[in-house]
Amino acid sequence: MNRRNFLKRSGAGTLPLITGGLAGLAFRGGDAGAGVRTSTAGAAGLDEAMARAGATADAGLGEAAAGPVDGPAPVFLTRDGLGYSPTDYIAKLDQINKARPVKPDFYGARGTVEELLKAFVEMTGKEMAIFMPSGTLANQLAIQVLSGENSKVLVQETSHVYRDEADAAQSLYNKRLVPLAKGKYAFTLEELQQEVNYATHEEYFKTGIGAISIEIPVRRCDAQVFPIEEIKKISAWCREKGYKLHLDGARLHLASTWSGVSIREYASYFDTVYMCLYKYLGASSGAVLCGSKSVIEPMEHLVKVHGGAMYQNWANASMALHTLDGLEDRLRTAREKADRLFAALNKIPGLHVQPVPDGCNIYLLKVDKGYDGKTLAKVLREKYAVWTASPEEDGFSRLRVSEGVGTMDVDATVAAFKAAMPLAKV
């Protein structure tokens, strides 16, 4: 059924229309063409929305089926990025290619991949960047190379590196991950120092601190953002002591939009930075790792060792390069629109939306007793093409703000919530 008929049949047509929405190559800054290195490997993990219990049917990859056919796009409050369906993805690539021809690469060398890596070098201020097939490989190889022979790697207990990478650090790289800040998104310099002291003085057989890995924002903590003042202190102390710092910045643009700290500033406190190409940069998979030449150069070899050198990567690279252009402005607009939307939703009886403390693009929605949050999500989706997640165990639905929200008609979306609330009464 096409979107217009769907809206007519559902009665939503009476509302105002709601519009909305590799193998690796390394590039060395200031040395176009010469800094080419191949690398890459692995398989992309599950979409984070699919992995989140309670939201699987409402968010993430399943949304593709609800994409627009010939009408205005629905509003998605369930995504970190645009979440193209295969059809939309192919159409978008075609559009990109017509505007600026996509250039092929050879195992990630040359072409559009190289242009993408150049953009990452400029954005982060690092010396080199390398294309990786997955964030998991980028994290693991960064930690391995930064740590050298030292085996202890300090991480947030809630981090992807600690919880979601299949113990790769332990089983493949002989590292011992030491978890800090259990259940939390950040640790303090004092907490880090205590753990380092313990590892240095209380263990008889010395194995050495290899690296410290920090995730910003933390996926498992509703995208909470490690406070920048603490990062500054930790970075200064680590540099003084010679400990290396890795940043898992899979969603770093989201943190940056809400914290006001630029990507370049975040990157400046770390030795290596990984950013995802598919969470909000539109690609179907892939990652980029940035750092100094001495850290990034050996990666080509290591990626090959892990079977990650992929023949051509231009499809992912061109989509990410295209999305990067103007992304910061679009995210700022999306945030402004979301702020207006949530302020208006808080005036609707029975509805409450609040930001996550130290959070970024995730907001918590709760309905009063007497309303059913699951029904609200279903009505919003089926009658008004507004996609929200169902409540989780704590009673909150997670609303996600992505760049697509920037094209939302705020008044129409508020009207959809107003119309849906009476239908969600129990």
Ligand X SMILES: Cc1ncc(COP(=O)(O)O)c(C=O)c1O
Contact positions toward ligand X, by CB under 6 A?
A: 44-45, 48, 134-136, 139, 160, 215, 219, 248, 250, 276, 287
Residue 257: other Cβ atoms inside 10 A: 20
Q: Give DSSP secondary structure letters for 341-376.
A: HHHHHTTSTTEEEEEPTT--SEEEEEE-TTB-HHHH
What tokens appear for 59 in the block?
Answer: 């968010």
Q: Give DSSP secondary structure letters for 122-165.
A: HHH--SEEEEES-HHHHHHHHHHHHHTT--EEEEETTSHHHHSS
Work out how close the CB of 205 gets to ligand X at its nearest, in angstroms, rounded to a whole number: 31
Work out how close the CB of 305 gets to ligand X at its nearest, in angstroms, rounded to a whole number: 17
Work out how close the CB of 67 gets to ligand X at its nearest, in angstroms, rounded to a whole number: 22
| C-beta of 222 vs 248, nearer to ligand X | 248
75 Cβ neighbours under 8 A, 6+ residues apart: 18, 20, 21, 385, 386, 387, 404, 405, 408, 413, 416
Work out how close the CB of 38 gets to ligand X at its nearest, in angstroms, rounded to a whole number: 18
| C-beta of 38 vs 134, nearer to ligand X | 134
| C-beta of 88 vs 164, nearer to ligand X | 164
DSSP state of 424: G
What tokens appear for 276 in the block?
Answer: 């995802």
| C-beta of 18 vs 283, nearer to ligand X | 283
Instruction: For residue 256, give the amino acid letter.
Output: S
Strands 128-132 and 24-28: antiparallel
Work out how close the CB of 354 gets to ligand X at its nearest, in angstroms, rounded to a whole number: 23
Which residue is closest to ligand X by CB? 135
| C-beta of 175 vs 219, nearer to ligand X | 219
Helix and strand counts by DSSP (H, E) for the chain: 17, 14
| C-beta of 22 vs 26, nearer to ligand X | 22
Short-list 48, 91, 82, 93, CA closest to 403: 82
| C-beta of 276 vs 334, nearer to ligand X | 276
| C-beta of 245 vs 276, nearer to ligand X | 276
Work out how close the CB of 45 gets to ligand X at its nearest, in angstroms, rounded to a whole number: 3
Q: How far is CA 371 from the centre of its chain?
A: 32
Work out how close the CB of 219 gets to ligand X at its nearest, in angstroms, rounded to a whole number: 4
Work out how close the CB of 306 gets to ligand X at its nearest, in angstroms, rounded to a whole number: 12
| C-beta of 254 vs 405, nearer to ligand X | 254
Burial class (CB in 10 A: 0-12, 13-18, 19+), 43: exposed
Buried b (16+ CB within 10 A) or exposed e, 171-202: eebebebbbbbeeebbbebebbeebbeebeee
Tell me the backbone φ, ψ of residue 225, rounded to 5 degrees.
-110, 125
Work out how close the CB of 358 gets to ligand X at its nearest, in angstroms, rounded to a whole number: 16
Short-list 60, 208, 204, 99, CA closest to 147: 208
